[in-house]
Structure 1
Amino acid sequence: MASWNSVPLHVSYEVLGWFAFACWSISFYPQVILNFRRKSVVGLNFDFVVLNLTKHTAYLIYNASLYFSSAIQKQYKDKYGQKEMIPVAANDVAFSAHAVLLTAISLFQIAIYERGGQRISKIALGILLVAWSIAAVCFFVSLHNHHWLWLLSIFSGIQVCMTIIKYIPQAVMNFRRKSTEGWSIGNILLDLSGGIANYLQMVMQSVDQGSWVNFYGNIGKLLLSLVSVFFDILFICQHYLLYPSKRRRSETNIEHDNVKPSDRQSSENV
C-alpha cells in the first residue's frame, strides 16, 4: 500500500474529508426537518429526490467496493500504478451510506405528507429505467470477465449523470414559481461547504504524492464536487438575489397566519 510522505498533509486530508462528510451529511437534515414541520412536501421536486436516491446508491456501490475489495484495489493499481493510493477514503463510504438512508427518508415523507398536485415525472422514471438497465447489463458482462473496476466506472458515470440531472428539475421549478419556498437553503449552504472541502481533500493527496492520478482515477468524486458547487451557487443566487421578495412575503404571510386572532385584533385597535 502507498503511504503518506507528509504528516501535515495527511492530517489535512483526514480533517477535510471528515469536514466534507459532516457538511454533506448534515445538509440532508434541513429539508427533512422542513418537511416534518410543514407536514408537506410542496415545493420539493420529487424528480430531484428519486434521481438523488439513484445517484447516492451508485456512489455507495462505487465507494464501498473500491474501499473494501482487495481484488478491485489490485485492478486499480494494475491500471494506474502500484504506488498509487486508493482514491476512496472512509469518509466517502460513510457519507454514501448516510446519504442513501436520508434520501430514502425524504422519499418516505413524499409518500405520507401533503403533496399538492406534484408527482414524479415520466421523464425521471424513464431516466431511472435507463440507468439501472445499463447497470444490470454491465454487471452481467463483468460477471463473465471479472472486469470489476470497469463496472465501478459505470456506476461512477451513473452517479455523475444523476448529479448533473437531479438539480435541473428543482432549479426549473424555482424559476417557474419565482420562489424557493419549500426548498431548504440550509441544505445548499452545507452542500457547498462539503463540495469545496471534498475538492481540497483530493488536492492534499495529489500534492503529497506528487501525482494527479487520483483526480482522473476517481473522476466521479471530482465531478461530484464541481457540479455540486456550480448548482449550489445557482440555488444561492435564486434564493438571495432572484426571488428574495417572494421568499420574504411568504415568510411574512406565515408569521401573520400564526398570530392569534385576539392579538391581531388588539394590534388593529391600537
Structure 2
Amino acid sequence: MQTTISKKPATLTLWRRWNWLLWIAIVAVIYTWAITGLHFTGLQESAASVSRSIVHGLVQPDWPYVYNGSGEDLVSLILQTLAIAFLGTIISSLISVPFAFWAARGGKEWLHVRSGSGKVVLTLIRTFPEIVLAIMFIKAVGPGSYAGVLAVSIHSIGMLGKLFSEAIENMDRGADEAITSAGGNSAQIFMLATLPTIMPEFISYTLYRFEIAVRSASILGMVGAGGIGTPMIFAIQTRNWPRVGIILLGIVLMVLLIDTLSEQLRKRLI
C-alpha cells in the first residue's frame, strides 16, 4: 500500500510566512497619508503666557463660585447637568426598547429583512452627533435645558437601541424553550422568560449610557443647551481661568462619582 503525501504549493507557503509584510506596508501607507494630510501651524507667540495663566487659574480656582445661592453657581449648574443627563437617558431607554426588538435578528429568515431595516434606522439616528442635535434643537425650541434633554435623548436612542438589540440576539433561549414546551403562549414567554433574562443587561447598558450622557451634557452647554458648559465657555472667552479651574474641578469630581456609583451598580446586576 502506497501513501501519497500532498505537498502544499511553495507560493502558498511563502505567502503565509511573509504576508505580515504586506499588512505592515498597508499600515505604513495609512499612517503616512494621515500625517501628510495634517498641516501643523506651530505655536503662537502668546502660547507661553496663556499657558501660565491657565495653569495659575487651575491651581488657584474660584472657590466662592462653588455655591452662592444665585442659582448660577457651580453646585446648581452641576445638578442641572445631571438632570439633563438623567432625563435624557430615561426617555431614551424607554423609547429604545421597541427599536431594539425591531432591530434584533430572529431565527426565521424573513425576520432578517425586518431587523436589517431596524439596524439602518438606529444607524441613521446615531449618525448625528449630540452637539449637532443640540444646535438643531436650540433653533427649534430655543436655548436652555430642554434642547439639551432632546439632544441627549435622540442620540441615546441610537446607542441604546443597538446595545439592547445585541442583548436580545445573544440572550439565552433556554427559558423560552422550556415555557414553550410546557404550553406557554407568547405573552407568558415574554413576561416569564425573555424580560427577566434581558432586563439586567438593559439596566447595565442604561447606566453605562448615563455615564456618557453626563459627559455629553457638560459639553452641550457650550452651544447654549443648558448645564455647566454655558458658564465654562463664557469663562474661557473672558479668560477667567480661576472660574474655568473650579468648573473643571467640579466636572471631574462629578464624573468620578457617577462612574464609581455606576460601576458598583453594574457589578450587582451582572
When Rg is computed on C-alpha atoms for both structures, the one with the higher figure is 2
TM over 0.5, yes or no? no
Tell me the TM-score range normalised by the shorter chain. under 0.3
TM-score (norm. length: structure 2): 0.27
